[in-house]
Amino acid sequence: MKLLNQTSPFLNLRAISSLDNYDVQRFEYRIETLKVARATRDEQLVQTLNKWGRQGWRVCHMAFEPDAGEDDKACVLLERRLDNWLLSEEDD
């Protein structure tokens, strides 16, 4: 498949023969809200995040919301790469 003419200064077409080798990555996402005690927050988070990491989840973002009591809320956005990247019937 030819994308541009071979005289293009931006793309070396000899290195790209087709789009068949294009690696498509798909991810699934999950949002978790945790209640964590201020006194042991770090230890609780490390244990929970390591557990999710062993399941293939990776933290994209984390935010803390202070609570009036002794606990805080941690909102965690997680992502995990899907092995099967082909579209299924439930995908839009």
**Would you say residue 72 lies in a domain?**
yes
**Would you say residue 40 lies in a domain?**
yes
Cα 44 to the center of its chain, rounded Å: 22
Q: What per-residue confidence (pLDDT) applies to 90? A: 59
Please, what is the end-to-end C-alpha distance for the chain in angstroms? Answer: 28
Question: Is residue 87 very low, low, confident or very high in pLDDT (cuts 50, 70, 90)?
Answer: low
What are 10-26's pLDDT values in tens digits? 555 555 555 555 567 88
Question: pTM (2 decimals)?
Answer: 0.64
State the amino acid at position 38 in one-letter form: R
**Would you say residue 7 lies in a domain?**
no
Domain housing 48: 27-81
**Would you say residue 20 lies in a domain?**
no
What are 64-83's pLDDT values in tens digits? 988 778 888 999 999 999 88
